[in-house]
Structure 1
Amino acid sequence: MSDTALESTRRRLTAKQADTVDRLGRAAVEILTRDGFSDLTVRRVAAEAGVGAATAYTYFSSKEHLVAEVFWRKLATASPALHDSDDAAGRVIDVLRHIALLVADEPQFAGAVTSALLGSDPDVEVLRLRIGRDIHDRLVAALGPDRDPDVIESLELLYAGALVRAGMGYGSYSDIADRLEKSARLILG
């Protein structure tokens, strides 16, 4: 993944600024784990990270933007799913499971990601598009050259729906990963 792919949605970052953004991201996850999304604020994250609130707001327009950015960075830096299967369905299932399990060990963060990505913040919109493109590209790579665009769109809708379902508490992210497998097999035959 190139450095430009991990640039902040609001500005290009120097090494020092990138470190500040990383500290803010780690602090956000710590607060989410401890106190949940409703108690998360950019000011609180800044204080936890030892950064001025004004500085934090130069990088993140809202708590939704901050959470979406942390998720984007986690997804963008995650190694691709290992494709152990020779068939397209198996490869797609590997991709969907891999993405779903990125946040399985952090249920508070995972729920916050769902809430954040549903927000209307323009900076979140940019990240939603990046995340969607990344997932799309992973699915295309898993399906191979003879892919049907309608199948890809169905798989994207499946993943988005599963993310919302898990974020609403209708199962753990591990359970959702299992359900994604069953649903993907139905779509792919």
Structure 2
Amino acid sequence: MNLESTRRRLTEKQADTVDRLTRAAVEVLREEGFAGLTVRTVASRAGVAPATAYTYFSSKEHLVAEVFWRRLAATPEPADIVGSTADRVSAVLRNIAMLMDDEPELAGAVTSALLGRDPDVEHLRGRIGLDIRERLSVALGAGGDPDVLEALELLYAGALVRAGMGYGTYAKLADRLETSARLLLE
């Protein structure tokens, strides 16, 4: 998958380097957690010079936000969900919530990273937010209430923070999101 980088357009070779760095970041997170993650460690794991890694990622928060963005962008929206608006919205929220179900270290790191002030993280946070908004908007259907859309975004953001703080698994989070969305929509 060749995604546009946060900081610049990539050649095929550069895209490969970024892919290696993001894969290495997940490996380091599994072993060391967010506290042990550094761009330098990730660069070493990926076989890349630290200076090269910093040309793509301004901070460890930026690197982790990029990992989440790539996973979200690579995850197809649930295909042709039939049923009520609540069914469609629930499927979208569950799909997003389950992106990191089997990787608790990554989940916590994403929560921390997305709260960062790094301009590159802010840019990715905007892209992620727009993607989630679009998915929810499609699930709500034409003429969806903008206040309901915003409430669903707040619901998801709050759930992400709770899961990142360790208050349950992402599978439980997905269940709670579904229940909460149904309460809001039905």
Q: TM-score range by the shorter chain?
A: over 0.9
Residue of structure 1 in register with 2:100 after alignment? 103
Cα-Cα RMSD: 1.1
Distance 2:71 2:4 in 1: 13
| SS of residue paired to 2:17 | helix
Residue of structure 1 in register with 2:62 after alignment? 65
Distance 2:19 2:52 in 1: 13
Residue of structure 2 in register with 1:42 after alignment? 39
- What does 1:1-150 align with in structure 2 at a 5 Å threshold? 6-150=3-147
1:153 has 2:153 as partner: no
Distance 1:20 1:81 in 2: 30
Q: Deviations over 1:64-103 (max 9, x none)?
A: 0000001101101111123433211000000000000011
Amino acid paired to 2:59: S
Farther-moved stretch of structure 1 (179-188 vs 80-89): 80-89
Distance 1:137 1:157 in 2: 14
Amino acid paired to 1:88: T
**TM superposition score normalised by structure 1:** 0.96
Aligned length: 186
| SS of residue paired to 1:36 | helix
Q: Deviations over 1:99-124 (max 9, x none)?
A: 00011111111110000000110000
Stretches of structure 1 that go unaligned for 5 or more consecutive residues are none
Q: Deviations over 1:21-57 (max 9, x none)?
A: 0000000000001110000000000000000000000
Farther-moved stretch of structure 1 (126-135 vs 77-86): 77-86
Amino acid paired to 2:27: E
Amino acid paired to 2:130: R
Residue of structure 2 in register with 1:172 after alignment? 169
1:183 has 2:162 as partner: no
Contact preservation (8 Å) 1:83, 1:94: no
Amino acid paired to 2:88: R
| SS of residue paired to 1:169 | coil
Identity %: 70
Q: CA deviation at 1:12?
A: 0.6
